[in-house]
Amino acid sequence: MALLEVNQLTKIFGGLLANDHVDLVVNEGEIVGLIGPNGAGKTTLFNCIAGFYPPNSGTVQFKGENITGLPSNEICLKGIARTFQIVRIFKEMSVLDNIMVGAFNRTGSAAHARKQALEVLDFCGLMPKKQMLAGGLTIANKKRLEVAKAYATGPSLLMLDEAMAGLNQTETAEAVELIKKIRKSGVTIVLVEHVMEVVMPISNRVVVLEYGKKIAEDTPEKVIHNEEVIKAYLGDKYHATRRAH
């Protein structure tokens, strides 16, 4: 059964049609990449699923339950955790405390939350930074912490919004490893990225958005040869010259 099912989701901001009847299915255990050029509506779709704002029409179903328009804290309780494109860590709190805030989603006991947070710290490779103030971390570690605290909420679906934007090659590779590890621990992942090189090797399926519409959905290998996708990313000209050869 599908873990997440988005049906005909539409979101309008004023006169802008950010998502136009988008369908999306995420099965359990998958890594789904959500890609598209700037302004394609990836983050909007993401925010509608995570309860940041309600869609104008369409439904979001999670584990067979209608969660459309629920506030984000309730969606987190249901088992969908998200990260933010621009990291939103608690700068004045230590790295461990940041993760504990996430861990409290599943427990009321501080001792239990601390134990879980320590496990997540270790899992995400942030153990050496345990007592540091989160505000003092490097960008790469801030992004890692952003993932770690979402992961600590104990989700069955983790949605990562450009978790690797702004990282160098080594850092990106490390982040990809972490995502694979999280996937192996039994968490389904939806990935928003616009760096194709990152999404392609780890995604089971890739969904491509352009101008708010879904233009393709397939395995990475097929998507990169899809003419519409090439057109969306590289423009008509490239498309035309490619044909001429």
Residues binding another protein (CB under 8 A): 50, 52, 71-74, 76-77, 81-82, 84, 88-93, 97, 100-102, 104-105, 108-110, 113, 149-150, 153
Q: Which is nearer to another protein, 83 or 172 (CB)?
A: 83
Q: Residue 25 in contact with residue 5, Cβ under 8 Å? A: yes
DSSP secondary structure string, 102-144? HHTTS-S-HHHHHHHHHHHHHHTT-GGGTTSBGGGS-HHHHHH
Q: How far apart are CA 236 and CA 229, in angstroms?
A: 11
Nearest-approach distance from CB 101 to another protein, in angstroms: 5
Nearest-approach distance from CB 79 to another protein, in angstroms: 10
End-to-end Cα, the chain, rounded Å: 44
Nearest-approach distance from CB 58 to another protein, in angstroms: 21
Question: How crowded is residue 123: how many other Cβ atoms within 10 Å of its Cβ?
Answer: 16
Q: Which is nearer to another protein, 113 or 137 (CB)?
A: 113
Assigned token pair, 193: 């990225």
- Torsion angle (degrees, nearest 10) of CA 85, 90, 91, 93: -150
Q: Which is nearer to another protein, 45 or 89 (CB)?
A: 89
CA angle, 179 as apex, 150 and 60 as ends, to 5°? 55
Nearest-approach distance from CB 103 to another protein, in angstroms: 9
Q: Which is nearer to another protein, 105 or 172 (CB)?
A: 105
Nearest-approach distance from CB 151 to another protein, in angstroms: 11
